[in-house]
């Protein structure tokens, strides 16, 4: 199994902490976010780890990962960062994709690894507790996520008008089954470069827009249902809240 960690961004909302280092090197519980992720992956037997860097990329060099570069990180978004590592998207392994600004417990990773659908998407069914601890109005920052047949995702990433539009919240972790990994890049290349995707151009589309495109094209996407056990670092106040919803593994 391979893993790609998307860590090209600076994280401007975390300034001044990110004035001179990338977002994924912000420390939580005395250890950088990236270090937490790599340790959990390796503990689960995932040692083929790739990191896509951009801002302050030289700081992410380490012997136990392969570093890739999105040299257009300042003018592109997460999907473009993902396909900066297209060279490792081969049909010999399942592929785990994670955002670089999150941490998660082993149980979350194992639940994702055990999913057998073409696309597995980790989603938090207890998201409202976490969002309410981070902000006054959880609905203002949340995105839609709708499932049928138990956990088959049919919609995600839209602006919700009501809490009923949100059955869970996408956390920034995906697994693509071996037989669909090559198709992932092929589908991305086939998309219109002039189209607008949820208000963004091709280079700046959100990951949820790309996932929705795959779903609309008939890809089966299943939600891996978790109840907290993870955290993201988007602003400095998230550093305090994270410890209540995620436990570091010493």
| Domain tally, the chain | 1
**What band does 248 get if pLDDT is binned at 50, 70 and 90?**
confident
- With respect to residue 158, please indicate whether it lies within any of the assigned structural domains: yes
Residue 113, in any domain of the structure: yes
Which of 210-215's residues contact partners 24+ apart within 8 Å by CB, and which partners? 210/79, 211/119, 211/121, 211/153, 211/156, 211/157, 211/174, 212/155, 212/156, 212/157, 213/187, 214/119, 214/184, 214/187, 215/119, 215/153, 215/154, 215/155, 215/156
Query: Residue 114 domain-assigned?
Result: yes
Full-prediction pTM beyond 0.85?
yes
Residue 250 lies inside a defined structural domain of this protein: no
CATH of residue 108's domain is 3.90.550.10
**Domain interval for residue 155:** 2-245
Q: Does residue 145 lie within any of the structural domains? A: yes
- Looking at the domain assignment, is residue 224 inside a domain? yes
Domain presence at residue 11:
yes
- pLDDT 10s digits, 97-134: 999 999 999 999 999 999 999 999 999 999 999 999 99
Q: How confident is the model at residue 56 (pLDDT cuts 50, 70, 90)?
A: confident
Question: Is 138 a member of any domain?
Answer: yes
């Amino acid at each position: 199994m391979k893993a790609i960690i998307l860590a090209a961004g600076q994280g401007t909302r975390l300034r001044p902490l990110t004035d001179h280092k990338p977002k994924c090197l912000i420390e939580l519980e005395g250890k950088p976010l990236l270090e937490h992720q790599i340790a959990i992956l390796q503990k689960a037997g995932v040692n083929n780890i790739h990191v896509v860097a951009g801002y302050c990329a030289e700081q992410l060099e380490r012997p136990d990962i392969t570093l890739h570069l999105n040299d257009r990180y300042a003018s592109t978004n997460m999907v473009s960062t993902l396909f900066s590592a297209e060279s490792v998207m081969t049909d010999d392994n399942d592929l785990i994709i994670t955002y670089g600004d999150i941490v998660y417990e082993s149980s979350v990773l194992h639940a994702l690894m055990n999913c057998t659908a073409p696309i597995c998407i980790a989603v938090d069914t207890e998201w409202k507790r976490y969002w309410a601890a981070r902000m006054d109005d959880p609905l203002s920052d949340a995105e839609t996520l709708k499932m049928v047949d138990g956990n088959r995702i049919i919609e995600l990433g839209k602006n919700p008008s009501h809490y009923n539009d949100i059955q869970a919240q996408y956390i920034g972790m995906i697994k693509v089954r071996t037989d669909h990994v090559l198709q992932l890049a092929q589908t991305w290349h086939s998309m219109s470069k002039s189209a607008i995707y949820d208000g963004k151009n091709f280079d700046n589309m959100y990951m949820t827009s790309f996932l929705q495109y795959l779903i609309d094209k008939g890809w089966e996407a299943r939600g891996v249902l978790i109840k907290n056990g993870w955290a993201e670092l988007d602003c400095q106040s998230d550093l305090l809240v994270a410890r209540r919803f995620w436990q570091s593994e010493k």
